[in-house]
Structure 1
Amino acid sequence: MWDPWSGRIVQFYGAEESARALEHPPGGVETNRMGSRCIQVEAWFSPGCVVNGKTYATLADTPCKGLEDIVAWMRTLGIPDVWPSGRPQWSGNSRSAATWRGKAGHYGHCHVPGNSHGDPGPMPSGMFAGGWQEAMMGKLPTLGKGDTGEHVESVQGLLLARSHPEVHVNGHFDDVTETAVKAVQKWGGVAADGIVGPDTWPVLLRVK
């Protein structure tokens, strides 16, 4: 739960837990447990709300305090800076099941197959900008072949998002992961040594 005026954030479930508040009609597309992460952020907001005498039509109009922190945290979990179904709008949003199944990134409730909600409405165009790189690089480890753990899963999730379906999100930095990292490094113009460090993390997290 996020308050865009104060920046207060309250977490109810661990990042490894499934989302719990999306509709999941029988026989439809899985909506609550897709991928290695499925995080739902609820904003303390409704269209037309009044705060300190000012009316706010969209979330994008609010101060959005704390949003950069939320996005930066999601990056460390392997969620790339991209809206696979387009930036949310009040209407005309795609609910493509193929996109939902196959592309990692950020989605509004308005993008979820089998759901009818229209939120969150327009989001700030600069939500993926800011000083996140400087803030996060010191918190992200250097990883290479043989390493294991949650951050390796994040690397593998980002590789999948960058069209490397041969990679499995298993938390083991294996030969397949190393080969895919080298390919992304070549694309990003950094040394293709297969090691995910300060030069490679920004390439993996770059908006496509």
Structure 2
Amino acid sequence: MPDLWMPGAQRLDVGNHAPTDGGPAKAIAHITWDRNATAAKPVDLVSYTNLRSYFAGGGAGVAPHILWDPFEGHFTQFVPANSRSKSLADAAGGTRTNRAGSVVLQIEALFFPYCRVGTKVYPRLVDTPCKGWAELQAWVHSWGVPNVWPMGHPADFASHRSESVWETKAGWYAHSQVPENDHQDPGSWPNFVGAPAPSTPKYEPFPGAGFFRAGRRSPVIAAMHKRLVAEGCGRYQSDANADVWGSGDERSYAAWQRKLGYVGSAADGLPGPTSWSKLHVPNV
């Protein structure tokens, strides 16, 4: 039998163990996202000790299986692998989330976008050293979780959810891919050790109409902002919070749509797949 407790991880058992339902083995990728930062205003990373104390104390009710520090390679485990943890929203009577598999191993990486460690700022989790990832991947795999992403390797902060895939496919899932949940993390995740790196498109694919809503924060929006300005369509009053969708983005995108020849309601400032593809937003 695989190890119930990850070798090398500190064990802080918070109790409240409960079985899973059986079915496709899964692992869920989260980031702690305990601060909001931007490229213009990075914020110091919250300490691993603080997050560990939170999950072992007041946050025990939402503790994952594993808290992972990708900067130093530290791990703390709060429940054994054969128990569900409770890091996912799970509506009564709906699709099972925390229990939906032979295992549902939940991993919280200590990270938020544009965190600062020393003098260096890290926009994405994959920009960190990702220390300990090989050991973490191996332990998760030992529980029957295949090295695949049934809904795609996470590459943005958009929701990509399919209840049918969730219920039938084993593998790794981003928090943004789990039914009944509204979080959009982790934004990125390291490649599987020994697997070829997936090809990265030159331009950002259209993230879907639902991505563009007030308050949405994403490096994709910051990259779009720069492209609109470069095309002479910037209608922004300020460059502050350039990675957050707001009224300035809507005005600027409407100017881009008019530049392409759209008129009336077709130039409403909400991106569509055709106008987006012509803007050539670089992949971030």
Q: 1:81·1:128 contact (CA, 8 Å) conserved in 2?
A: no
CA 1:31–1:109 in 2, change beyond 3 Å: closer, same or farther? Answer: same
Q: 2:99 aligns with which of 30, 33, 37?
A: 33
Q: Equivalents in 2 of 1:109, 1:5: separation in Å?
A: 21
> Residue 189 of structure 1 aligns with which residue?
none
Q: Equivalents in 1 of 2:157, 2:108: separation in Å?
A: 19
Q: Deviations over 1:108-167 (max 9, x none)?
A: 11110010001111112x33327xxxxxxxxxxxxxxxxxxxxxxxxxxxxxxxxxxxxx
RMSD: 1.3
SS of the equivalent of 1:33 reads coil
Residue identity opposite 1:56 in structure 2: Y
SS of the equivalent of 1:2 reads strand
Q: 1:83·1:107 contact (CA, 8 Å) conserved in 2?
A: yes
> Residue 251 of structure 2 aligns with which residue?
none
TM-score of the two chains, using structure 2 as the length reference:
0.44
Q: 1:100 aligns with which of 166, 191, 202?
A: 166
Q: Equivalents in 2 of 1:35, 1:120: separation in Å?
A: 21
The structure whose residues are more often strand, as a share, is 2
Q: Percent of counterpart pairs with the same letter?
A: 43
Q: Equivalents in 1 of 2:73, 2:157: separation in Å?
A: 27
Alignment of 1:36-75 (within 5 A): 36-75=102-141
> Residue 87 of structure 2 aligns with which residue?
21
Question: Structure 2: where are the runs of 5+ without partners?
Answer: 1-66, 196-284
> Residue 113 of structure 1 aligns with which residue?
179
> Residue 139 of structure 1 aligns with which residue?
none
Question: Structure 1: where are the runs of 5+ without partners?
Answer: 131-208
> Residue 81 of structure 1 aligns with which residue?
147
Q: Equivalents in 1 of 2:168, 2:85: separation in Å?
A: 18
Q: Equivalents in 1 of 2:72, 2:113: separation in Å?
A: 17
Q: 1:86·1:93 contact (CA, 8 Å) conserved in 2?
A: no
TM-score of the two chains, using structure 1 as the length reference:
0.59
Q: 1:91·1:118 contact (CA, 8 Å) conserved in 2?
A: yes
Q: CA deviation at 1:49?
A: 0.3
Which segments of structure 1 move beyond 6 Å, counting only runs of 4 or more?
Answer: none
Q: Equivalents in 2 of 1:50, 1:92: separation in Å?
A: 23
